Structure 1
Amino acid sequence: MRIEFARFSLDDTDLLVDFLTRQEWPFHAGTQDPEVVRSRAADGLYDNEETRTFWVLADGERVGLIKLLDLADETPMFDLRIGQEWRGRGLGAKAVAWLTGYLFTEMPHINRIEGNTRQDNHVMRAVFRKSGYAKESHYREAWPDRDGKLHDSVGYAILRRDWLSGTVTPPDWHDD
């Protein structure tokens, strides 16, 4: 399978609406209202000075979406979505490897990259670990789902120096 990444453009809005609203995203909050997605795209919320969005393409088919956020900061964040029928094929790890290299290569001011997921999203947590990200935070009952149930949120990050050296530097959890 050939994996590529293509930057989102406003011409892709209908494809974006379809991708985000026609399937379940069990670990993502937010709306699945097509008009809200369309309005956000028109307002530049998927591509502006601080945000870039990329399609994950598998053999030319749009199978995932990467949204890079806070690009003016030294610590950007990202949102990753892999389409339901493509999950479990290693695309998440390939996407995180790509976005990590992209950010550290294209943006020299960036020192670290951060991502968060729900505690019960074991697949994404494994992707973070496989990709060289260290667990840095654990926030209890901080992530509400669509039904209002609260889940723990877990944060991971990678430092530029760790990416360059291929190591993982965990935080000092016993600094009290």
Structure 2
Amino acid sequence: MPIRFTPLDPTGADRDALITFMTSQTFPFHVRTNPTATQIADAIDDGAYADEDHASFWIDSDEDGRLGFFRLGWVQEAYYREGWPTDDGRLRASVAYSILRRDWRDGTVTPVVWDLPTQG
């Protein structure tokens, strides 16, 4: 099945579709497993899906239509032990990913560190 990546315009033409997609799915491995329309709209307005440092894309298929979306270029930056609150109030471990603007611009690839750092 061939797929294509279509630039997503979250603050314009794709805003409603993104909100609908994000609120009609369950994300069991995310901090917010069932985000609300208000939470997604606020995230869009805060630049979470597109700003000078972020770009998002739809994943589309001619056979199956819209499959999902993704953001490019993240590198593991941090481990959080019991640092992320969930909707039910419990704290969970999490991993943060990001990319430096210069790495994006220059095409620099930083390897992911899979092992937890050890204390000396």
In percent, how many aligned pairs have the same letter?
A: 33
2:103 aligned partner: none
Gaps of 5+ in 1: 68-98, 101-112, 116-135, 163-167
* Shift in CA distance, 157/144, structure 1 to aligned 2, threshold 3 Å: same
Q: Does 1:150 align with 2:99?
A: no
Superimposed CA distance per residue, residues 49-97 of structure 1 (whole angstroms, 9 cap, x where no aligned partner): 1221111223362222213xxxxxxxxxxxxxxxxxxxxxxxxxxxxxx
Instruction: Give the CA deviation at 1:37.
Output: 2.9
2:102 aligned partner: none
Superimposed CA distance per residue, residues 124-166 of structure 1 (whole angstroms, 9 cap, x where no aligned partner): xxxxxxxxxxxx754321222211112212357897265xxxx
Relative to the length of structure 1, the TM-score reads 0.46
1:160 aligned partner: 109
Q: Which amino acid aligns with 1:7?
A: P
* Shift in CA distance, 152/65, structure 1 to aligned 2, threshold 3 Å: same
Matches within 5 A, 1:66-145: 66-67=70-71, 99-100=72-73, 113-115=74-76, 137-145=78-86
Within 1, Cα distance between the matches of 2:20 and 2:119? 47
Query: Given that residues 75 and 110 in structure 2 are in contact (C-alpha distance below 8 angstroms), is that contact kept between their aligned partners in structure 1?
Result: no
* Shift in CA distance, 24/51, structure 1 to aligned 2, threshold 3 Å: same
* Shift in CA distance, 2/171, structure 1 to aligned 2, threshold 3 Å: same
State the Cα RMSD in Å. 3.5
Higher relative contact order (CA 8 A, sep 6+): 2
